[in-house]
Structure 1
Amino acid sequence: MNKRMEAATKTDKPLFIPFITAGDPTADATVELALTLEEAGASILELGIPYSDPLADGPTIQEASKRALSAGMTLEKALHLVPKMRERGLSIPVIIFTYFNPLLQYGEERLTAQAAELGIDGLLVPDLPYEESEDLGDLCKKHDLALISLVAPTSKQRMEKIAERAEGFLYCVSSLGVTGVRSELDPRVYDFLKTVREASHIPTAVGFGISSAEQVKLMNEHADGVVVGSALVSEIGKRADELRDEETCPNALNEIKMFVTSLISS
């Protein structure tokens, strides 16, 4: 595990892991958003690669992908946003969230080697099953990247196997289905999180549907942190026009910072 990821995950504070889509609404706005999220208390940043067929993503993130693709964002351009963030002072780990098809088209060796060179700390590939992830995992180890594992409520034996191989943090899917804001979480999530936490040698973070300060506070009692995607991406989408404009961008960023602070300050 590289030093940034190790430092971020060895903490007594709950992890806060925001997700944003690269290029939504512009490349420059993505850099500004990353810096704003770190200021607001982000532990690790998930940088999503816009994709035309995002199987695990609900309508909010699908719309963000459309905005980013319309603005000309690509996988290669997204990777090169990270050194721009680093030049501006971003110090937290950055995880690239991409589906397997774009990764395969780009080249697994090429992507992992470039990611390491560009200041990226890990990959998360939601449609790559645990059983088929060994080759990519070996490439990630070669380049000192964490391959972040997703674990969903399945058999205890499978959850334990995933936890055993996991690196960085273990992404616990709060419910089956696609991402999206949910007013209530499935009550069965608590037993699931207990099982995973007992099996895991690294921090656990809950995602899919976490959208309110109450949910963040509750999940932090049962895991080591939370991933917030759709709720944050929705706030970005509401301010897309302002974020595109140099004059109105600072105010929009401040409003997003206040939204994040309200989620994690309780």
Structure 2
Amino acid sequence: MQGNRIGARFSALAAKGERALACYVVTGYPGLKATEKAVDALVAGGADIIELGIPFSDPIADGPTIQQASHTALERGATPDKALAIAKSIRKKHPDLPLLVMTYANILVHAGVGKFMDKAKAAGIDGFILPDMPVEEAGEYIKSARERNLATVFLASPNTSERRLEEIAENSSGFMYLVSVYGITGTRKHFENYTVEAVKRAKRAASGRIPVGVGFGISKPEHARFMASAGADAVIVGSAIVDRMSGPKGMMTADLKSFASSLKRALRSRA
């Protein structure tokens, strides 16, 4: 993926021996302007990659926090076009920031996959994460993305077979997204040993060809350190950020910046 900001960011971090911090926000929650301010705060705190969630009416991979935020955003008028407009504004302020859209396949299919990708590319998007897009059915999606130099980030889980892990690694670009636990998104108190084994298996399948990002349930610096120590190239945080976006209006940006900073510090010192 020559010229793609995701690869450039991972290369720069690897040269410093650092893991990437990827932060997820629901576009339009708690409002459209608030989304942009939240991204600015997260970047100021050290976020390396931003995932812009485009709200969908049936977010099957998401837990209660993100489901509720998506519902609220839709009620307040969030649309895919408005999400891309926010992306465009963010891109102007952060020209080198890797930006991904995380949403569901129907959003692209409804608009026309190629057409939506063209609009996303024009808005400064670098790739897509579609939790409900199985790699076995993704031929057109992958082809359209590669023609536009856009990343296709596929998801794997702790019980994904070795053969399928290799297929996911082969067809992912940008990075592979490993779901850390069984189930849906949402914060957790701790992680089991099977998560460490899942990270190791994903890294073996990736064989150094592509970074492995780990998400779902990560809500504390200790969690980030745990995943980095297990071998993750990136740590992805979503629900814990969305929770903070529902807090007092005047405190949101300071809280998000501080939270991102604490996570990034944990990723710099993995001892």
Fold equivalence (TM over 0.5): yes
> Which one of the candidate residues 220, 234, 243 is aligned to 1:212?
220
Identity %, equivalent residues: 37
Letter in 2 for 1:179: T
Q: CA RMSD in A?
A: 1.3
Instruction: Give the match's secondary structure for 2:217.
Output: coil
Residue of structure 2 equivalent to 1:245? none
Structure 2 residue 65 is matched with structure 1 residue 60: yes
- Counterpart CA distance in 1 for 2:76 and 2:96 is 27
CA 1:89–1:190 in structure 2 vs 1: closer, same or farther (change >3 Å)? closer
- Counterpart CA distance in 1 for 2:157 and 2:255 is 33
CA shift for structure 1 position 170:
0.9
Structure 2 residue 179 is matched with structure 1 residue 173: yes
- Counterpart CA distance in 2 for 1:40 and 1:99 is 28
- Counterpart CA distance in 2 for 1:186 and 1:160 is 23
CA shift for structure 1 position 88:
2.5
Instruction: Give the match's secondary structure for 1:45.
Output: strand
Residue of structure 2 equivalent to 1:37? 42
CA contact (8 A) 1:23 1:73 kept: yes
CA shift for structure 1 position 174:
0.7
Q: Deviations over 1:58-99 (max 9, x none)?
A: 000011112211220001110111111122335311100011
- Counterpart CA distance in 2 for 1:235 and 1:96 is 20
**Structure 2: 5+ residue runs without aligned partners?**
267-271
Residue of structure 2 equivalent to 1:86? 91
CA contact (8 A) 1:38 1:90 kept: no
Residue of structure 1 equivalent to 2:10? 9
- Counterpart CA distance in 2 for 1:54 and 1:134 is 23
Letter in 1 for 2:196: Y
Residue of structure 2 equivalent to 1:229? 238
How many residues end up aligned between the 2 structures?
Answer: 257
CA shift for structure 1 position 55:
0.2
CA contact (8 A) 1:217 1:264 kept: no
CA shift for structure 1 position 187:
1.4
Residue of structure 1 equivalent to 2:269? none
Structure 2 residue 118 is matched with structure 1 residue 118: no
Residue of structure 2 equivalent to 1:188? 194
Runs of 4 or more, structure 1, over 3 Å off, are none
Letter in 1 for 2:129: L
Q: Deviations over 1:214-259 (max 9, x none)?
A: 11001011211200001111111223xx1xxxxx3xx420121112
Residue of structure 2 equivalent to 1:47? 52
Q: Deviations over 1:23-72 (max 9, x none)?
A: 11111111111121111111111000111210000000011112211220
Q: Deviations over 1:183-205 (max 9, x none)?
A: 12131111111111022111111
- Counterpart CA distance in 1 for 2:139 and 2:40 is 33
- Counterpart CA distance in 1 for 2:93 and 2:197 is 42
- Counterpart CA distance in 2 for 1:210 and 1:90 is 27
- Counterpart CA distance in 2 for 1:260 and 1:113 is 31
> Which one of the candidate residues 165, 168, 177 is aligned to 1:162?
168
Alignment of 1:127-138 (within 5 A): 127-138=132-143
CA contact (8 A) 1:34 1:90 kept: no
